[in-house]
Chain A
Amino acid sequence: MESTKSIRETVRRNINSKKNKRMEKLMPGVLLATALISVLTTLGIVVTLLIDAYKFFEAVPFLEIFSTKLAPLAAEPSFGILPLINATIMTSVIAMFVAIPIGLTAALYLSEFASDKQRKVLKPMLELLAGIPTIVYGFFAYSFVTPFLMKLIPSLGAKNALSPGIVMGIMIIPLVASLSEDAMSAVPNSMREGALALGSTKLEVSIKVIIPAAISGIIASFVLAISRAVGETMVVTIASGSAKNFTFDITRSMQTMTAYIVEFTSGDAGSGTIGYYSLYAVGFLLFVFTLLMNMFAHRIAKKFREEY
């Protein structure tokens, strides 16, 4: 009796508490306001980039932007963006040549071939690779991979596109591997067992059943990997240098879009110059590129999730 009474009292006290009622009205608004900060961040990015990028496009003739000459600090500055875009594509393509084959085979091995014991060891170690800060990879590319490659390719410059490309690829392997593996593990076991029961080897199951069934997740992981490579900053800034060459020769130094932003903000251009505004134009382009790729990846991945 005693306890029922006290419970009832607690309930009554809870229901009638004025403070509780006030909080109940207040909290949704407060929480909504904080949740909107993330939306404000996106808006902030778009607005700050657009305002200063606009000043750039106003000051520079449209055709000049699509030229291959970039010399922001010259007496007669030229603002062709193609060298930056070219360098970004070159380093990203090299990275994909490393990340996609190794990432995909690692995913296949972990999902289809590895024993539980092996998976328990290999997976966390791959995650370790993903947890290392990019600056460490930059140091590694510049102080180890470049000198190492110089022994193989004597004409390689101290700063070049090849070494950061490779290192960026290694850095992205865990991303490709874990996302692809998620997609492969989501393929229902019945399909796997069906193919095995018909006498397929594990390799045949992987190639003819698992990859086709998980293809949208796998492609999504590739797209996200490209987006990561395009947005990656420190490795290319350190190891690819700041030469504004428009070249397809990957043994030479070239500057990516991200590296341009870093070089220019660390003190070269004063606020208010065209060079300073060009930073935001490049930033805006980079933002749009990566955003489109990420949205594309999410869309494919979502489609895939609905299939099973």
Chain B
Amino acid sequence: MEDSYAISATLKGDIDSFEILVNRYYRGLFNHLYVMVRDESLADDLAQESFIQAFKALRRYNPEYRFSTWLYRIGTNLALKSLRKQRSIRLDDIPELPDGHDPGKATIVEQTEAQVRAAIALLPLKYQTVISLFYWHDQSYDEIATTLSVPVGTIKTWLHRAKQALKHSLEESLWID
């Protein structure tokens, strides 16, 4: 079922249709929010709240945009609000390897990916957010600009600076030139 059909059906009272959207986008949104807040439990709560807010405001959804763009905007705003409340920078913001993961047995690919994730986690939040949306959630510049409510030019600048910072932090270990 296409998003537009599920939204239309939900607005007509078929709440089960909304579940299709939840199933389709929950995991992606959850991962995007995790990149922002670095707390699985909080990301889960925020993802859940995002869908609830989307449901409540569904009549305001503008079909000119992809549903996912609108949803990510809601989620991103919730994450930013949550982060503003925290106010402190946590030392354990660097992502940990999954439970049961033995660094000694990790493949080179896994180690590289973990290094990249760690480097991304050290970037300013706005750069992390842009990277998450652009590379991992396939949003265009325009869509990211909509999600974050900033001009497209700013998004391009942030992405460029984020990549420069990553290149700088990874160039020695990963021979990125």
Question: Do A and B interact?
Answer: no
A contact set with B: CB distance below 8 Å: none
B contact set with A: CB distance below 8 Å: none
